[in-house]
Amino acid sequence: MILDGLRFLDFDHVVDKMHLPPTGLEYLPNKLRYLQWNGFPSKSLPPSFCAEHLVELDLRKSKLVKLWTGVKDVGNLRRIDLSDSPYLTELPDLSMAKNLVSLILVDCPSLTEVPSSLQYLDKLEKIDLYRCYNLRSFPMLYSKVLRYLEINRCLDVTTCPTISQNMELLILEQTSIKEVPQSVASKLELLDLSGCSKMTKFPENLEDIEDLDLSGTAIKEVPSSIQFLTSLCSLDMNGCSKLESFSEITVPMKSLQHLNLSKSGIKEIPLISFKHMISLTFLYLDGTPIKELPLSIKDMVCLQHLSLTGTPIKALPELPPSLRKITTHDCASLETVTSIINISSLWHGLDFTNCFKLDQKPLVAAMHLKIQVSLFISSLFLACFITILKCDFCVTVRRGDPTWQNSNGSTGE
C-alpha cells in the first residue's frame, strides 16, 4: 500500500469526524514510529499492526477497550498515553516494552488492573493513574529509575505498592492505604496522602521531603522528628479532625513556609514552636478550637498570611509587621484586635464579617486618623508642587555651556 512506509501519523483534530467500517480500523503502517490519534475511534489497534518500530503511542480520548491481544514486540516503545479513554478495561502484556519510560492513563475509569508485566520494565520512570476509580490492584515494581507514581481516587487500593527506593513524587490521594513503607519514603520530595482516611500514623523516614500533604487523614499527632525535616517547605493537615496536638519544635525550621492545620482538633501550638518556624509565610488555622495565639507569634518575621476563620479566639496578640493579610470571618468570640492598628499593610485587607463581639471603635478611630494623615501628606505634597511651578525655572542649553534662565530673561549658573 502507498502508506506502508509512513513513520509519523498525527490525527490530533479529527475527534468524531472519521467513519470506520463496523469491524473497526483494519490497517496501520507497520513502520510507524509516532502515532497520535486524539479520539481514536476503534476498540483496539488492528491485529495486523506489529508495532515493533513504534516509539510513542498517544491515543487520548479514544474508544479503546484494549490495545491488542497477546504479547507484541514493542522494544522501541518509550511512551504510552491513553488518557480519557472511558471504555479501556485492560492493558496488554507489556513485558517486551523494555524501553518504556512513561505510562499515562489519566481518567480511565473502566480500568480495573495494571498488568504484572510492568515489574519487568526497568526503565520505567513515570506512571500516572489519576482518577482510575475502579483500579483494584497494582503490581510490584522493581524499576530503580521510577520517579513518579500517581494512584488517585482508587479506594480499592489498600496497600502501598512495592516500588523503587528512588521515588521522588508519590501521590496516593484518596486511596485506602494505611502506611507508607520507610524504604519507599527516604528520597521522596513530594508525598500526597490527602483523603487517605485510614492513614493513622505520620509517615517516617522522610529525609528529603519538600511537600507533604496529609489532609483528611486520621493521623492523631505530629511527631517531634518533624523539626529535622530540613527540606520541608509545605505541610498540609487540613481536615485532620483527630489531630489534637502539635509537637514542640526546638530547632529552627528554615525551609517551612506553608502550614495548614485548618479543621483539625489542634487546641494550641507550643510557644517554642512558633519561635522556631522562622520562615513561615502562610499559616492556616481555620475551624480549629484554638482560643489564643502565643505571644511569640510577633517574632515570625516572614509571616504574611494568617487565617483564623471560624475559631473561638477572643483577642489578637501583637502580630509581626510583615503581615499582609489576616482572615477572621465568623470569629464570634473575637473582642479586641487593637494589636493590628499599627500594621499599615493590613488596612486594605481587613474583614470582620460575623465577628459580633468585636469592639470596632478603636479600629474606626485609627482608620479616621490614618485618613487624616494621608490627606495631610497629600496636601503637603500638592503645596510643594505648586511652589515649584511658581518658581518657573527652565534650562537653556548653549553649546558646551548650560545655564539657568528664568521667565525674566536673567541667567544664573
Q: Are 244 and 266 in contact (CB under 8 A)?
A: yes
Q: Are 209 and 236 in contact (CB under 8 A)?
A: no
Q: Quick check: helix, strand or coil at residue 143?
A: coil
Strand partners for 403:
396
DSSP E strands in 65-136: the ranges are 79-81, 102-104, 126-129
Q: Which residues of 32-71 are buried (b: 16+ CB within 10 A; e: fewer)?
A: beebbbbbbbbebbbeebbbebbebbbbbbbbbeebbeee
Integer Cα distance of 237 and 262 in angstroms: 7
Integer Cα distance of 202 and 195 in angstroms: 14
Q: Are 314 and 293 in contact (CB under 8 A)?
A: no
Integer Cα distance of 392 and 407 in angstroms: 7
Residue 363: the pLDDT is 65
Select, from the ranges 24-28, 95-99, 321-325, 398-402, the one with the highest average predicted confidence (pLDDT): 95-99
Q: Pick the closest to residue 37 from 2, 13, 64, 19 (CA basis).
A: 13
Element (H, E) at 191: strand 190-192
What are the C-alpha distances in Å from 110 to residues 62, 65, 154? 13, 9, 12
What are the pLDDT digits (tens) for 196-238? 999 999 998 898 999 999 999 999 999 989 999 999 999 999 9
Q: Pick the closest to residue 74 from 115, 38, 130, 40 (CA basis).
A: 115
Burial of 372 from C-beta contacts in 10 A (0-12 / 13-18 / 19+): exposed
Select, from the ranges 140-144, 284-288, 296-300, 335-339, the one with the highest average predicted confidence (pLDDT): 284-288
Residue 362: the pLDDT is 63
DSSP state of 258: E
pLDDT of 127 above 60 = yes
What are the pLDDT digits (tens) for 328-347? 889 999 988 766 756 666 65
Q: C-alpha grid cell for residue 194?
A: 490527602
> What residues have CB less than 8 Å from 227, skipping those under 6 apart?
247, 249, 250, 251, 253, 276
Q: Which residue has the cell 480549629?
A: 288
Q: Quick check: helix, strand or coil at residue 57?
A: strand
Residue 364: the pLDDT is 61
> What residues have CB less than 8 Å from 317, skipping those under 6 apart?
292, 293, 294, 295, 297, 298, 339
Q: Are 194 and 214 in contact (CB under 8 A)?
A: yes
User: Dihedral, CA atoms, 209, 215, 216, 220, nearest 10 degrees?
Assistant: 70
Q: Are 115 and 137 in contact (CB under 8 A)?
A: no
**This prediction's pTM:** 0.83
State the pLDDT confidence band at 397, using cuts at 50, 70 and 90.
very low
Q: In the chain, where are the structural domains located? A: 371-412
Residue 110: the pLDDT is 95
Residue 18: the pLDDT is 62
